[in-house]
């Protein structure tokens, strides 16, 4: 039986198989775009927990969250609340996002932006750079070891930070094997979409000194944020609770525990 992740990744791989654009030509184009803003640098060494605030219209598990959101307005609101970075969904079929959402959000503020999508092809990495993203997401569970290494190296060559996302200890080992220095622990199981709020704390001791660490999913309030800060995390990536909050700026501020 296919899982949520299987279905989403298969859809993206099918789209990549139909893509006849030249990787070399795309890389040449990427060399001409402006410098990135430094996603990982914005999370490192802060006195308080960094918040990566997400722009997310819907999810496969919860359905519509804020389908009519204005990405530019929400980006400015997050920045006002003290967000360190943005994460913007660009997957259309499953999350209702778009490249236009990312570009509008980034143009409206000074924050570095993660392209939140399912990277399955080298051209996806270059596309992130071309659309103006400052970081790209690499989900270990969706990639082979050779893909993970190649995409991580390509991102670095293009000036992109790569948030390497893991869901268990074996995936963390794979991330470390390719030299990942920006590591996200997604506490949501992408097979069942259930959340294990203890997972990030369990995996943190296995991460090396100097890595920038991000806890993802299951962060509901200041108490969750404090727990993750105590476990040693540099940042949290929060979507649903911010998007659905009546006051997103205040919600961001509440998550920034020292």
Catalytic annotation present for 93: no
Q: Please answer whether residues 183 and 172 qualify as being in contact, where contact means their C-beta atoms are separated by less than 8 angstroms.
A: yes
Phi-psi region of 117 (alpha: psi -120 to 50; beta: other; left: phi over 0): beta
**Annotated catalytic residue within 53, 54, 59, 171:** 54
Catalytic annotation present for 165: yes
Cβ-in-10-Å burial (0-12, 13-18, 19+) of 2 comes to exposed
Directed axis angle between helix 122-130 and helix 145-158, to 10°?
20
Catalytic annotation present for 171: no
Catalytic annotation present for 25: no
**Annotated catalytic residue within 165, 171, 240, 241:** 165
Catalytic annotation present for 116: yes
Catalytic annotation present for 186: yes
**Annotated catalytic residue within 53, 79, 87, 116:** 116
**Annotated catalytic residue within 53, 56, 79, 240:** 56
Structure tokens given for 52: 């990566």
**Annotated catalytic residue within 53, 59, 217, 241:** 217
- Residues 197 and 216: their CA atoms lie apart, in Å, by 10
Catalytic annotation present for 54: yes
3-state helix, strand, coil in the chain (%, to 5): 45, 20, 40
3-state DSSP assignment of residue 195: strand
**Annotated catalytic residue within 171, 186, 240, 241:** 186
Residues marked active site are found at 54, 56, 116, 165, 186, 216-217
């Amino acid at each position: 039986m296919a899982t949520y992740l299987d279905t989403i990744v298969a859809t993206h791989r099918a789209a990549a198989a139909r893509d006849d654009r030249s990787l070399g030509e795309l890389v040449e184009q990427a060399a001409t775009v402006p410098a990135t803003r430094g996603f990982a640098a914005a999370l490192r060494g802060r006195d308080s927990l960094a918040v990566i605030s997400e722009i997310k219209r819907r999810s496969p598990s919860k359905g519509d969250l804020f389908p009519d959101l204005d990405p530019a307005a929400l980006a400015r609101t997050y920045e006002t609340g003290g967000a360190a970075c943005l994460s913007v969904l660009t997957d259309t079929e499953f999350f209702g996002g778009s490249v236009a959402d990312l570009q509008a959000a980034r143009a409206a503020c000074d924050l570095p932006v993660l392209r939140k999508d399912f990277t399955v092809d080298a051209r996806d990495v270059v596309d992130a750079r071309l659309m103006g993203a400052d970081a790209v997401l690499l989900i270990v569970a969706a990639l082979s070891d050779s893909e993970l290494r190649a995409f991580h190296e390509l991102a670095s060559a293009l000036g992109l930070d790569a948030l390497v996302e893991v869901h268990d200890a074996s995936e963390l080992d794979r991330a470390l094997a390719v030299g990942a220095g920006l590591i996200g622990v997604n506490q949501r199981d992408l097979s069942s979409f259930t959340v294990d709020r203890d997972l990030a704390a369990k995996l943190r001791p296995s991460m090396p000194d100097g890595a920038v660490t991000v806890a993802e999913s299951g962060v509901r309030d200041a108490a969750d944020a404090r727990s993750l800060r105590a476990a040693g995390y540099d940042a949290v990536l929060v979507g649903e609770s911010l998007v659905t909050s009546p006051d997103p700026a205040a919600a961001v501020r509440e998550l920034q525990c020292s």
